[in-house]
A and B are shown apart, each in its own frame.
Chain A
Amino acid sequence: MSDGLTLNKITSQKGISVAEAARRIADLGWTPSYVQEAMTFPTDYKLSKSPRDPMKQVLRSYFPMQEEKDNRVYGALDAALRGDMFRNVEPRWIEWMKLFLAIIPFPEISAARSMSMLGRLAPGEELRTGFTMQMVDEFRHSTIQMNLKKWYMENYIDPSGFDITEAAFGRCYATTIGRQFAEGFLTGDAVTAANVYLQVVAETAFTNTLFVAMPSEAARNGDYALPTVFLSVQSDESRHIGNGHSLLMSVINDPDNHLLLERDLRYAFWQNHAIVDAAIGTIIEYGTANRDKHKESYAELWHRWIYEDYYRTYMLPLEKYGIKIHHDDIAAAWDRMVKKNYVHKIAQFFAVGWPVNFWRIEAQTDKDFEWFEHKYPGWYAEFGDFWRWYGKKSEPGETNMLFDQDNGYVYPHRCWSCLCPCVIREDFCCDEVDGEIYTYCSELCRWTHKVAFASEYEGRPTPAMGRFSGRRNWEEVYHNWDLAEAVKDLGFVRSDGRTLMPQPHLRFDDRRMWTLDHLGKHTIQSPMVLLREMSPADREKHIADYRAGFKIQPFPGH
């Protein structure tokens, strides 16, 4: 049918404009006079200006649009099965989806909860529909990801690890970072959490790496399902970014909020970087079997999305409103990515900890080495032998690298703020908060715990700010436990009661798979607990030694 003559045009009648519809809908709200709305979400921000909704969002066009997106996603999953996707998919990749998809549904649904807070705190009702859509979007994201995970479980060669996914999420030594990310969206100061940490930083800056870089890499590994789901998820983000920016603009309007905004932008940027780059950087660089030298590395993607798109075009313009932007933080994060090998060192941590996770991590091999050296010159000298050792130690009965004296790897401290390991040794630091010693991966993480998450900030009371709590140090939970006992306690044992769920290789064969017996007698210890037990002099020496780093022993024959 030609453009000029559609059924719709012949029969359509005059309707109300979108602007008029949005205006009428915003007028549904009123200021209560009998009973005030319960203000159950604390914030130290002042909100007096109503955020605007430049997108003029209306629910009746939203639901059909989303249903249509869903139809495409579910249609594509069916098509992937008909096309026998799993015959050619790279297991190295799908294994990491056990981790990624264990984590991500909870941050998503947490974002839905955050909209509760923004819906109530934001003055006026113009942005209410935007928050409502975001709430339902996040419900969509969370369940569509649970669905994808179930689909992998049903169709991939090794379902073990997908089958205990939400239980594993609560227990694994690596998933705490995902909970820090998610709880950061909805606990403590409501504006800090839901607007700055979630919308202004996580969604505006980091969803590109999460939801655009991941799909590209998935496709390179023969996985056509994840791109369909996650590009569909990402298509909702522009609305969320818009909501976040509108609210930010109404908050920034009051100079009283500037100090808090400066604090929160610093905290949120640094912590998003520490967490998202650790997890997604590792999955994209180490969870792929594709070593095409023409593709962008994670560092290159980061430069484009975080540095150029976000920092230069979103963050910098905030200066004109009087917000101090900490340029050094962005530079420091970039240095961590390219000069200090953040992602590569995190990948080592994931790998050596394989017995206490719930997916398979295989060794990197010569083909991988070549790509890494090409993209990150100097990589081989620092990491090549590590992966050769890892390959050797992947045979059942070998001593796990954590406990093995041959290879020289030293298990890292854990950062009390971002919960990632303190892998950049020279940046490791400690401080005392309320009489207790804590460890941090970086100065900014120290600042986050001690200065930002406190009851006052630069002399200004901040009674609504959250606190770090819980048993944040995973190693402390299993301090002095026998490794095999810990694995059993974690539940990371397969249905036969003895074979480990995680494996340091991709051999789908009982004869090559590790069992509890192969783990031997080893004791888990928390470096932080040990540090606290030291005398001040020993502690100082330990810190100096730690900062000096370790050297992987040369791999015999190389």
Chain B
Amino acid sequence: MSEAQAPLEAARSAAAGAAQFAGSDSRRYNYFEPKGRKATHYEDMTVDVQPDPSRYLLQDWIISFADGTPTYSQTWTKALSSDWHAFRAIDQEWERTHYQRQSTIVGMIAGAVENGRRAGVWKRFDQAWIKVLQNHLGAFKHAEFGLGTSTMHAQRYGYTQMINSAILTNSSYKLRFAQDLTLYLSELALDIPTLDLDAGKQHWLESPIWQPARRAVETIGGATDFLEQYFAVNAVFEPLVAELFRSGFVMQVAAAQNDFLTPTVVAAAEGDYQRNLANAVELFQLLAHDPQHGEHNQALLGGWLEQHGALAIAAAKSLQPIWSLPHVKTAQFNDALDNAIERTRTIASQIGLAASASLAA
């Protein structure tokens, strides 16, 4: 290089702003339309990471299944969308916020249980209540696990990164909570040697009280449409059965049995669900109001609500005897069920679905 050219050499620093030239101030991801005025950090981390031939995937998917189905396919759900990329998760979760939240919950539960055990709170638990925890909270943890494995399965199939990430974090929350309950009961059993840790699974597998719930969960696991799974988990089973049991029973009743600990553990799942629900409602209301496919999707989602709703209602009603087990009765099953049905109706209407016959109850 000649001396004359030397002054043209760029500044030595490689820091932003060290030189001005074409493109030197292009400091934002510019290949997608942010939902708001400015892209959020979540959007930057998420949008278009899973490519799409209709956007930038010039050479199309390059491996297919034996039947010709490509790596990602819109045929994996019967739902139709004029723009699968429009969805953004309401909770804006990306890796860091996910670990922060999960870690906070794990720490909160560990701290509560540790302090509770040290204070011997279990000694004041009502004896009938201990049996309820053993048999029914013990059974319920399997339902949570089933929702976790279904969403884990479903996160393979979404057509965009935004959809799959929302389902993935949903799965992570459910599986964590199933483990929270398992470990909580195992720790209680250290102090209460009569607590039978196998009884919960036995009830889940055999007790008539839980069989309709198991049928409903297995039906979700057996669905081949990943959005049907996601819908049935969040818009149907959670409000009608899971929240009914968690909030409509455990959270209402525990304190009266001198149990202030279990509600702390269970409350975490309600927080998780608020987020999962918000994400799910956002996605399904987009589909239900799709300018081209809204009608089709409403019929489809309505059908899922009908089918899974009937199973979930049956599951919910079958849990009724549990409400009469605690010594001190502070909650009425019928009130709880009415609340759950009302809640489910609200969810359905937020999505844009007409009231379902199965929710007429």
Contacts and interface: CB of A to CB of B under 8 A. Distances in A.
Interface of A: 11, 13-16, 20-21, 24-25, 27-30, 32-38, 40-42, 58-60, 63-64, 66-67, 70, 74, 84, 86-91, 94, 105-106, 109, 112-117, 119-120, 128-129, 131-132, 135-136, 139-140, 142-144, 146-147, 150, 153-160, 163-171, 176, 179-180, 183-184, 186-188, 419, 455, 463-472, 474, 477, 490, 494-496, 498-499, 501, 506-513
Given A469-B61, A494-B22, A507 B186 contact: no
Contacts of A150: 29, 44-45
B26 A495 contact: yes
A30 B205 CA distance: 8
A128 B182 CA distance: 15
B15 interface: yes
Secondary structure at the A interface, as helix, strand, loop or mixed, is helix
Interface string B181-223: 0110011001000000100010011000000001100110111
A183 B61 contact: yes
Contacts of B57: 170
Given A74-B96, A119-B153, A170-B55, A509 B27 contact: no
Interface residues of B, number: 102
A60 B106 contact: yes
B62 A180 contact: yes
B360 interface: no
Nearest to B216: A34
Contacts of B222: 32, 35-38
B66 A64 contact: no
B16 interface: yes
A20 B10 CA distance: 62
Nearest to B50: A109
A115 B164 contact: no
Contacts of B51: 106, 166, 169-170, 179
26 contacts: A15-B190, A21-B186, A30-B201, A37-B221, A109-B49, A114-B156, A117-B156, A119-B149, A120-B149, A129-B179, A142-B49, A150-B44, A157-B16, A179-B59, A186-B156, A187-B64, A188-B64, A455-B66, A467-B66, A469-B61, A471-B58, A471-B60, A474-B59, A495-B22, A499-B23, A508-B21
B175 A132 contact: yes
Contact of A506 (B10, B31, B66): B10
B50 to A, nearest CB: 6
B95 A143 contact: yes
Contacts of B168: 112, 135-136, 139
A260 to B, nearest CB: 14
Contact of A116 (B26, B28, B153): B153
B272 interface: no
Interface of B: 8-11, 13-19, 21-32, 41, 44-51, 55-66, 68, 70-71, 94-96, 98-100, 102-103, 105-107, 109-110, 114, 117-118, 141-142, 145, 148-149, 152-156, 161, 164-165, 168-169, 171-172, 175-176, 178-180, 182-183, 186-187, 190, 197, 201, 204-205, 214-215, 218-219, 221-224
Contacts of B148: 132
Given A16-B186, A24-B183, A467-B64, A499 B22 contact: yes
A153 B31 CA distance: 14
Contact of A40 (B32, B62, B68, B224): B224
A357 to B, nearest CB: 13
Nearest to A141: B95
A146 B66 CA distance: 32
Q: 8 closest pairs, A vs B, by CB?
A: A170-B56, A160-B23, A508-B10, A494-B23, A35-B222, A116-B156, A499-B22, A470-B60
Contacts of A60: 106, 109-110, 176, 179-180, 183
B175 A34 contact: no
Contacts of A36: 218, 222
A177 B70 CA distance: 17
B63 A469 contact: yes
Contacts of A513: 21-22
